[in-house]
């Protein structure tokens, strides 16, 4: 087996797990893990950039530290998303006339929204880090940073899908409106930041 085949083989168990006829891991976990992968790719850019220009090393290293932290957070959020789904699914399966259903459902819905919201917020922060990294990184790695930026935007968009799909379960109209507005701002912010990262990576 050559190196390329070994790399592909390492991904197969995760891809099989995602593709299986099981509800978890689903879109929320995948959104988080796509973001974590983008962080890992950004870290590679950092490692190939440190030492090229001493005056930028501290800035580049700070970006690397932020990417490492975000990667850990996003991996954990992927697992938490699966747990949140299971909690919500269990609450929704309770009979509608069950006296405890409302008490079980409210925190489950809140958690199912909190986790992807955290994914989106983390993704936006990472895009800001990448925007700062682009002008000072190794120019030969800017294409990789551009790919990483695209992955981070996809992570935010995926997280917004998961927030929006649960809005129908939010009873408070003001809370629902706030969440919907926040989701729209996340999308706009991710698109804008990704565009700026792309422009910097192209050198324009």
* Number of C-beta neighbours around residue 3 at 10 A: 7
Q: What is the pLDDT of residue 4?
A: 57
DSSP letter string, 78-119: HHHHHHHHHHHHHHHTS-TT-TTHHHHHHHHHHHHHHHHHHH
All structural domains of the chain, each given as residue ranges with its CATH number in brackets, are 26-202 (1.20.120.680)
User: How far apart (Å, rounded) are the C-alpha atoms in residues 166 and 176?
Assistant: 10
Sign of the torsion angle spanned by Cα atoms 92, 98, 102, 103: negative
pTM of the model: 0.93
3: pLDDT strictly greater than 80 = no
pLDDT at res. 2: 64
Q: Determine what percent of the chain is predicted with pLDDT higher than 70.
A: 97
Q: How confident is residue 10, by pLDDT bands cut at 50, 70 and 90?
A: confident
Does 143 score more than 70 pLDDT?
Answer: yes
pLDDT at 1: 57
- Taking residue 75's Cβ as centre, other Cβ atoms within 10 Å add up to 18
What average pLDDT does this structure show over 80-92? Answer: 94
What is the tens place of the pLDDT at every residue in 169-191?
999 999 999 999 999 999 999 99
- For residue 138, give the DSSP letter: -
pLDDT confidence band for 167 (50 / 70 / 90): very high
CB of 144 closer than 8 Å to CB of 125 = no
Task: Please give the pLDDT value at position 118.
Answer: 98
């Amino acid at each position: 087996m050559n190196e390329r085949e070994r790399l592909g083989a390492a991904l197969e168990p995760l891809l099989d797990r995602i593709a299986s006829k099981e509800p978890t891991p689903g879109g929320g976990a995948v959104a988080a893990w796509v973001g974590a992968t983008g962080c890992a790719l950004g870290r590679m850019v950092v490692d190939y950039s440190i030492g090229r220009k001493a005056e930028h090393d501290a800035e580049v290293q700070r970006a690397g530290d932020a990417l490492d932290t975000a990667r850990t957070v996003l991996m954990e959020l992927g697992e938490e998303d699966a747990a949140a789904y299971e909690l919500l699914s269990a609450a929704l399966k309770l009979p509608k006339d069950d006296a405890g259903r409302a008490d079980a459902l409210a925190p489950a819905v809140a958690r199912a929204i909190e986790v992807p919201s955290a994914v989106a917020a983390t993704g936006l922060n990472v895009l800001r880090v990448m925007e700062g990294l682009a002008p000072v990184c190794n120019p030969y790695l800017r294409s990789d940073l551009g790919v990483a930026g695209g992955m981070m935007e996809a992570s935010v968009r995926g997280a917004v899908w998961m927030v929006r799909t649960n809005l129908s379960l939010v009873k408070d109209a003001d809370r629902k409106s706030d969440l919907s507005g926040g989701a729209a701002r996340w999308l706009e912010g991710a698109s804008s930041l990704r565009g700026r990262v792309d422009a910097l990576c192209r050198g324009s």
